């Protein structure tokens, strides 16, 4: 349960102001079809984070416990620093015509946007830390949905009221504490 709850909280915080959250806003504004967008976000996140979680679980078998401790501690601290760098949506990310429909456009856009993203890296690290692939993937997917689904339905109203910088600082502190705890 700890792996699930920590994964949910960390990814929900890390996702605030992230490029995929901005992508949610762009897709919602452009297509105005929230259900296929939310379903597309869910499918893309589940597949992406399942793969990332598998990599994290594999790393635990490949590295010895002492090396893994230092890699994870350093990675969590690096993630804390990365959290302080806000994402911006790349130019043109929301301009693709929905040739294959809103759902498939969302799946492809989200899957690609998550490649190498903070939340994907966090999923790898959390799966390695907790050695609980299913709990981590379920938690990171729920965290992603908690951060992105409301944006699809409520859009700019949320983005104007949430102090994104404060959320990033809180997320950075959590990653820093996790990194220090792993190293100790």
Residue 62's pLDDT is: 79
**∠28-45-168 over CA atoms, to 5°?**
75
Residue 157: pLDDT band (50, 70, 90) is low
Domain coordinates in residue numbering, the chain = 2-183
Q: What is the pLDDT of residues 44-83, one digit of tens each?
A: 999 999 999 998 888 777 777 777 678 767 877 876 787 6
CA dist list (Å): 166 to 9, 10, 92, 180: 15, 14, 28, 21
Torsion of CA 106, 107, 108, 110, to 10 degrees: 80
């Amino acid at each position: 349960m700890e792996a699930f709850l920590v994964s949910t909280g960390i990814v929900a915080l890390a996702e605030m102001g992230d490029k995929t959250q901005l992508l949610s806003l762009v897709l919602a504004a452009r297509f105005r079809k929230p259900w296929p967008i939310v379903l597309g976000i869910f499918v893309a996140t589940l597949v992406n984070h399942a793969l990332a979680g598998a990599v994290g679980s594999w790393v635990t078998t490949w590295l010895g416990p002492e090396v893994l401790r230092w890699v994870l501690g350093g990675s969590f601290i690096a993630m804390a620093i990365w959290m302080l760098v806000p994402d911006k949506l790349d130019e043109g990310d929301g301009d693709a015509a929905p040739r294959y429909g809103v759902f498939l456009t969302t799946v492809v856009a989200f899957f690609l946007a998550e490649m190498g993203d903070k939340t994907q890296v966090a999923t790898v690290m959390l799966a390695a830390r907790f050695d609980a692939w299913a709990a981590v993937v379920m938690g990171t997917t729920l965290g992603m949905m908690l951060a992105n689904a409301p944006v699809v339905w409520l859009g700019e109203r949320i983005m104007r009221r949430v102090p994104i910088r404060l959320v990033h600082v809180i997320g950075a502190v959590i990653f820093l504490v996790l990194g220090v705890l792993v190293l100790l």
